[in-house]
Structure 1
Amino acid sequence: MNKALQRSPRVIAIGDVHGCIDELQMLLRQCDYRPGDQVVFLGDLCAKGPDSLSVVKMAREIGAVGVRGNHDFEIIRWHQAIQRGVTPPTTTPSHYDIASSLSPDDVAWLSSLPWYLTSKSLNALFVHAGFVSGIKLKKQNPRLMMNMRSVLPDGTVTSKYFHNWPWARLWQGPELVLFGHDADRGLQEYDNALGLDTGCVYGQRLTACILPERKLVSVPAKREYFKFRRKRF
């Protein structure tokens, strides 16, 4: 599942928002957002933070596009389960609560998010977690595109955080990849890859990249909304 992204006057790619509506509004003001700009969310608009519903509503209102994050995927999955009458688990109710509260238009928009976006005019790709180098885009694994963080020396692709083995170090282009998902590493800057998950929901920052000039803009989180559980290998 892929969609082509047409170039507008500016493209504003935004890292993981996780329901942090106040910070999202601040960031758009800091970016001097104006009608005609194309906002691209890099996945995980929802869950963990204070107001996922407002984030999705705002994304729709400004005509934003985005890619599907692992938490967005879980919310869509739970909405489908609700439609089938499945009882939610008692241990992790947050995705269920969001899924059961979204309007039909919100659900339709969230469900329309593709695994990745392409922009030929910007020579750029947008994805939540990453790509495996050497594999054609159409052959990439959706699960990995939403969850991968590291590629080990033996070629193993994993969602786990291994400090010395970020997947993006292997990406040779020619397209610039903009991605999120990896708050542990924070801002990642490579010649051909740019990681924009700077941990807003964990009390750090929300970050955007304005294209084509590749200008970085960020705002601080108002507070820590969710405790970060670091797992290092």
Structure 2
Amino acid sequence: MKTYFIGDLQGCHAQTVELVEQIQATANGPYRLLFAGDLINRGPASLATLRYVHALARQGLADSVLGNHDLHLLAVANGIRPQHASDTLTEILDAPDREELIAWLRCRPLALQHQGHLLVHAGLLPQWSARQALALSGEVSAMLCSDDWVAFLRTMYGNEPAAWRDELQGADRLRCIINAMTRLRFCTADGVMDFKMKESGSAPPGSGLLPWFEVPGRHSASDTVVFGHWSALGLQLRPQLIGLDSGCVWGGKLSAVCLEDRSLLQVDCPTFQQHSGKQ
């Protein structure tokens, strides 16, 4: 069986179907699809995209990690956050199957491991090994799949604590985990997260900021980490690192990489959104 990692869909349904059809033709046999999160929002067909991935998952063909836009949907659906002007979530919120879709989405993990590859939407703090990241993902999943999930969502937002400490507890601990795995791009060498830099693939000289995957001594460096979220960085195919957000919703491409041979499949995408500074 071949496994394909797929970048941020962001509600681009037609391009998702086209890419999956490419995969089906190329795999020429059993396949599994692992999506890097942000299945919905900003693109023109968030409901159709979510239904499509959900159907694939019910067939045992796919799974996904949670992205920041997926979490935003959960908050909007429960009246915790307002919709933004660029959101394309109304169809989901008004859908007759919204509760089924939301119930499936909220129980997606923040991190998945498959054959030595760790999939996460955004990034990992330098103190975390792949094993620890999976355990921390499990802590968040336990809360989001519990009866207390809506109450937790009310505590989820905020930029603090900006650095990891093993002794963190409660909402602070879970918020730090979520922020790293769904929002992180840059951090300092000792793992203090920055959330201001959004439109650049490199930090200003002298800022002390590094892409999270370039922090010296990163504990997850021995595993191949696969991530999305960073369209300004673009496609990255490096030893031990695969970056999959090639800007589909911004007029770039939707990308899939085969785990077994690193082959790349891509679909061209129209410009559905202009860059606003919030990606």
Relative to structure 1, the CA distance from residue 69 to residue 212 in structure 2 (aligned partners, 3 Å threshold; closer, same or farther) is same
In 2, the alpha carbon distance for the partners of 1:128 and 1:48 equals 17
RMSD: 2.4
Letter of the aligned partner of 1:158 in structure 2? D
Q: TM-score with structure 1 length normalisation? A: 0.83
The answer as to 2:10 corresponding to 1:18 is yes
Pairwise mapping of residues 1-233 of structure 1 onto structure 2 (< 5 A)?
9-31=1-23, 32=25, 36-63=30-57, 64-81=62-79, 89=82, 92=85, 94=87, 97-102=90-95, 103=97, 104-119=99-114, 122-135=115-128, 136-137=132-133, 138-139=135-136, 141-153=177-189, 155-159=191-195, 160-161=197-198, 163-164=202-203, 165-170=210-215, 171=218, 173-221=221-269, 223-230=270-277
Change (3 A) 1:105 1:35: farther
Gaps of 5+ in 2: 137-175, 204-209
Q: Tell me the secondary structure at the aligned position of residue 141 of structure 1.
A: helix
The CA distance in 2 between the partners of 1:57 and 1:35, in whole Å, is 24
Distance 1:21 1:96, change over 3 A: closer
How many positions carry a matched residue from both structures?
A: 215
Q: Which runs of 5+ in 1 are unaligned?
A: 1-8
Q: Secondary structure of the residue that 2:180 maps to in structure 1?
A: helix
The DSSP-based 3-state class of the residue aligned with 2:74 is helix
Distance 1:37 1:224, change over 3 A: same
Q: Deviations over 1:141-200 (max 9, x none)?
A: 122110001123464322324605321223552211110000001012321111100000
Q: Percent identity?
A: 27
Residues 151, 90 of structure 1: CA spacing in aligned structure 2 closer, same or farther, 3 A cutoff? closer
